[in-house]
Amino acid sequence: MGALYMIIGTLIALGILVTFHEYGHFWVARRCGVKVLRFSVGFGTPLVRWHDRQGTEFVIAAIPLGGYVKMLDEREGDVAPEELEGAFNRKTVGQRFAIVSAGPLANFLLALLFFWLLAVLGTQQVRPMVGAVAPGSLAEQAGLMAGHEILAIDGTVTSGWNSVNLQLVRRLGESGNLELLVRDQGGTSERTLQVRLDSWLRGAEDPDPIGSLGIQPWRPRVEPVINQLDAQGPAAAAGLQVGDRLETVAGESVEDWQQVVERVRDLPGQPIELWIERDGLRQSLELTLASRGEGEARRGYLGAGVTGGEWPAEMLRDVSFGPIAAVGEGLRRTWSMSLLTLDSLKKMLFGDLSVKNLSGPITIAKVAGASAQSGLGDFLNFLAYLSISLGVLNLLPIPVLDGGHLLFYLIEWVRGRPLSERVQGWGVHIGISLVIGVMLLALVNDLGRL
């Protein structure tokens, strides 16, 4: 079932995002009087094709990894004299600039639409209440304590743990003060805490912003009674069964599932002993934990799970907006995520953020499937983030991308004439090399995560 969600989720995501992006180019090209020869979603062998009254061929092709809009252009073939007016290369710099920029702009508008819809539908979020603070951690040094609710970070309101994590991600690799606005549990007084950062998590391959500060979110107590087993995991191989209650893990008594998670996480690849209660009898099991991740991100893996506990009503909040207010929220989130994407790319370039965080098609497919399986809200959120990423990446000033073409047009506007075909050719070759290199790096990262 998971594989089915992954396939369907990926096809829907790519289909929507690519179609919308290319439609942006198509719509503006038509408005500028350019003749569009083909509108293709996907590459390779056409599966479905049809023509409209203006002669444009619409195609759905076999390889759903992109798309393109082919326009009449003298640089790509002979154009009949009576059709020269509709050639792309005959249009003004401003018109060509508008046509090329319309694709990324369409992605930002699509993200805005998804964020607007999410704001109107509303979400239920867990209040960012601190459950525990690690001794000696950055959070403890700043004065954060169990029971504090995090109201804002660096002046931005945090309605739930997702927004807390998002605000912390913005500070990865940075130095300076991180400002937390907190409130005591059940209290009304607020105060500001300063967390001192020094090249915080710079270059970390799999950063855990919340955990690295020493913060453990509050969670309802969950009994360590096994409810799920990975058939290929260490727990199942050692004979652990559904219904078993864990009493000790590697010599440490456990009364809550979170204690099990923390103990296992710190012992990747280690042989351990479990004491369990089964049918009223105590017995021990020996096993070797698997490991997930690499380097500092390496974590132990047991291959067992439990049924989640019930969240008390006071720890949950419903966040929704009216149709008008949702427009502002959509704009805010679109702008915020666009800046975060650009900032992350800059940090990767300068080494503040590890390039291991770059994801390729495999990770995108996995996240698409997981978000589709989680529900409409999560899937829309994923689509919005992916649409913004597609828009930002396409605007990078790299030849072969939309941003590269815009750079050429900007230079043409300043100089009064275009760059020579030779110079543009060099740029295209460099751009292709860069794009292929980044794609290969992302694919290697994907394979490493597997």
pLDDT tens digits along 200-246: 988 887 788 998 999 999 888 888 888 888 888 888 888 888 888 98
Answer yes or no: do 240 and 172 share one domain: no
Contact between 157 and 333 under an 8 Å Cβ cutoff? The reply is no
113 and 8 in a common domain: yes
Show the domain range for 255.
Answer: 228-309
Residue recorded with tokens 């997702």: 162
Contact between residue 274 and residue 285 where contact means Cβ atoms under 8 Å apart? yes
The verdict on 6 and 114 lying in the same domain is yes
Domain co-membership, 243 together with 294: yes
∠ CA 32-33-34, nearest 5°, is 95
- pLDDT for residue 180: 94
- pLDDT for 294: 65
Distance, CA of 135 to chain centre: 31
Inside any domain, residue 139? yes
Q: What is the mean pLDDT of residues 95-109?
A: 96
- Residue 269: predicted pLDDT: 87
Q: 247 lies in a domain?
A: yes
User: Would you call 203 exposed, middle or buried from its count of C-beta atoms within 10 A (0-12, 13-18, 19+)?
Assistant: middle
Domain end position, chosen among 169, 195, 220? 220
Considering the domain architecture, whether residues 108 and 27 belong to the same structural domain is answered as yes
Mean pLDDT across 47-56: 91
Question: What confidence tier does 348 reach under pLDDT thresholds 50, 70, 90?
Answer: confident
Given a cut of 70, is residue 437 above it in pLDDT? yes
Tens of pLDDT along 293-317?
A: 666 667 888 888 888 778 888 888 8
Quick one: pLDDT at residue 450? 64
193 occurs within a structural domain: yes
Q: Rounded CA gap, 98 and 126, in Å?
A: 43
- Most confident of the ranges 184-193, 406-415, 427-436: 406-415
Residues 6 or more apart in contact with residue 445 via CB below 8 angstroms: 355, 356, 357, 358, 359, 360, 363
pLDDT band at 336 (very low <50, low <70, confident <90, very high): very high
Cβ neighbours around 111 below 10 Å, total: 27
Answer left, alpha or beta for residue 33, where phi above 0 means left and psi between -120 and 50 means alpha.
Answer: left
If you ran DSSP here, which 8-state letter would residue 370 be given?
H
Number of residues in the chain: 450
Given a cut of 80, is residue 360 above it in pLDDT?
Answer: no
- What's the longest Cα–Cα distance across the chain? 91
Residues 296 and 279 in one domain: yes
Q: Tell me, what's the pLDDT at 295?
A: 63
Residues 272, 215 share a domain: no
User: In this structure, are 23 and 113 located in the same domain?
Assistant: yes
Indicate if 262 belongs to the active site.
Answer: no
Among residues 320, 380, 311, 352, which one has the least CA distance to residue 110?
Answer: 380
**Residue 360 lies inside a defined structural domain of this protein:** no
More confident residue, 439 or 384: 384
* 84 in any annotated domain: no
Last residue within a domain, chosen from 220, 245, 280: 220
Share of the chain above pLDDT 70, in %: 98
Total domains in the chain come to: 3
Q: Identify whether the C-beta of residue 320 lies closer than 8 Å to the C-beta of residue 121.
A: yes
Which residue did the predictor score with more confidence, 115 or 297? Answer: 115
Residue 175 confidence (pLDDT): 92
Chain center to CA of 368:
10
Question: Mean of the pLDDT values across residues 146-169?
Answer: 92
What is the reported pLDDT for 297?
64
Per-residue pLDDT of 252-279, as tens digits, reads 898 888 888 888 888 888 898 888 899 8
Q: How does DSSP assign 211-228, residue by residue?
A: HHTTEEE-------B--E
Please check whether residue 385 lies inside any domain of the structure: yes
**Is position 256 within any domain?**
yes
Check whether residue 26 and residue 104 sit in a common domain.
yes
Catalytic position from the list 22, 149, 205, 329? 22
CATH code, 250: 2.30.42.10
Q: State whether 101 and 192 are in the same domain.
A: no
Q: What is the DSSP letter of 129?
A: B
Q: How far apart are CA 241 and CA 235, in angstroms?
A: 8
> What confidence score (pLDDT) does residue 48 get?
92
Domain boundary among 309, 330, 352: 309
Return the closest-CA partner of residue 333 out of 364, 325, 100: 325
Is 425 a member of any domain? Answer: yes
Give the tokens for residue 187.
């209290």
- Average pLDDT, whole number, for the chain? 88
